[in-house]
Structure 1
Amino acid sequence: MAELVVDLANKVTGVGVKTSYGEKIEIDGTTIVPVAIGWYGFGGGEGDVSTGTGEAGEAPGSGMGGGGGGASIPIGAYVSRDGTVGFEPNVVALAAVSIPLLWVLLRGLKGLIKVLKR
């Protein structure tokens, strides 16, 4: 099991840049490089503690487990036009990320104000 985790870690070390920056696209003399925030994670488990007898209500020891997941949020693109490069944000993705963050910050501020009023 330990070798599996090491193998997974070695295989995903180079994924970071490819997750963050997509392949460049050229359209009518304009070069576009998409940019995203990406993250991923893996977990594992094992067992083998044989404490039960397997009779009514006592299960013999066993185990296994594993999982993984990831996400990617497109935040914009670097656009090259006429020799100049600029970043153009993806407003929809930034709003989707910032609205929950703003909600958490405002709830925290509300709690802080209540504490300070006492």
Structure 2
Amino acid sequence: MPNIAIELGKLSGNLGVTAAYGEQQDLDGVKVLPVAAAWSGFGGGSDEAGNGGGGGGGFSLPVGAYVRRGSEFRFAPNPVTLILVLTPFVCVAGRALGYVVKSLKKTRR
């Protein structure tokens, strides 16, 4: 029986960008290289009787793509991911700004 941990390790290397976007694409001289953040985890075990089991899972978040046109190279973010990441930041920054304004008002009295 092959070592399952090694086989799962080889498989998990392809879960990120390939699962979210696919491979690099060449479109009319424009190269598009996808970017994704990926997490994965696997586990397994057995008892004294030899009964065993395992499982795993993963998550891949498409972040954007690097686009190359000739000598120009730029990053094009995924707008949905950008909104999901910035929403909590804007909420926390707005709340912190409210506390700053409130404390400034108290010190002027």
Gap runs ≥5 in structure 2: 100-109
TM-score, normalised via structure 2 length = 0.60
**Which residue of 1 is the match for residue 25 of structure 2?**
25
**Which residue of 1 is the match for residue 4 of structure 2?**
4
Quick one: distance in 2 between partners of 1:34 and 1:88?
9
Secondary structure of 2:52 counterpart: coil
Structure 1 residues 40-55: aligned runs within 5 Å: 40-48=40-48
Quick one: distance in 2 between partners of 1:29 and 1:66?
45
| 1:97/1:83 CA distance change after superposition, 3 Å | same
Structure 1 residues 1-118: aligned runs within 5 Å: 3-9=3-9, 11-12=10-11, 15=13, 19-20=16-17, 22-48=22-48, 63-99=51-87, 102=88, 106=92
1:20 to partner: Cα distance: 3.7
Quick one: distance in 1 between partners of 2:8 and 2:66?
31
Secondary structure of 1:93 counterpart: helix
**Pairs aligned (count):** 91
Quick one: distance in 2 between partners of 1:12 and 1:37?
16
TM-score, normalised via structure 1 length = 0.56
**Cα RMSD after superposing both structures:** 3.6
